[in-house]
Structure 1
Amino acid sequence: MKKNTITEASIYEAQGLKNEALEIYKNILKNDPENQNAIDAIRRLSGLRSKHADLNTQMLDFFIMMQSDEEINEFKRWLIRI
């Protein structure tokens, strides 16, 4: 199994491939939940606002732990609302 890296995600992000970069950052956080670079990137790419800090933390946790298509769709709906 290929290990994702911050560099790989950054390359996707620089190319405008936001969804692909987010998926890589998500995989990084599954293996390293304390990875601040991945956390910051997810916040940036997801449009999370600091004024919603409580909600951001909850949704970040949800984002990291989601596994089903239903959970992914719920996260997408949340992103559209913010």
Structure 2
Amino acid sequence: MQTLTLANIYELQGLKEEALDIYKEVLKKDPSNSDAKIAIRRLSGMRKKFLNVNTQMKDFFVKMDTDVEFNEFERWLLKSWN
């Protein structure tokens, strides 16, 4: 069942695309649902804001667990900002 509660749970877990899909389904069933409209605007804006995210480095960051990996990521960040 596609509900705002389920979409909120997905969003809180970081499953933004899944949450966005549910909010859109809720809005199809109830076009006047202001909570769904606000959530769609919020999540759609986040997607546009982070279009150029390096997904490979994002995944590396999420999974890194050693000092060597941390240092590698730190070097990449410093190089990216210069």
TM-score for the superposition, normalised by structure 1: 0.55
Corresponding residue of 2:43? 45
Query: Pairwise mapping of residues 30-69 of structure 1 onto structure 2 (< 5 A)?
Result: 30-47=28-45
Q: CA deviation at 1:27?
A: 0.4
The CA distance in 2 between the partners of 1:31 and 1:41, in whole Å, is 15
Equivalent of residue 5 in structure 1, options 3, 6, 16: 3
> Structure 2: any 5+ residue segments left out of the alignment?
52-82
| Structure 1 residue aligned with 2:23 | 25
Equivalences, count: 50
TM-score normalized by structure 2?
A: 0.55
Per-residue deviation, 1:4? 1.1
List alignment gaps of at least 5 residues for structure 1: 49-75
Tell me which structure has the larger Cα radius of gyration.
Answer: 2
Ranked by relative contact order (alpha carbons within 8 Å, sequence separation 6 or more), the top structure is 1
- Poorly superposed stretches of 4+, deviation over 3 Å: none
The question of 1:16 aligning with 2:14 is answered: yes
- How much identity, in percent, do the aligned residues show? 59
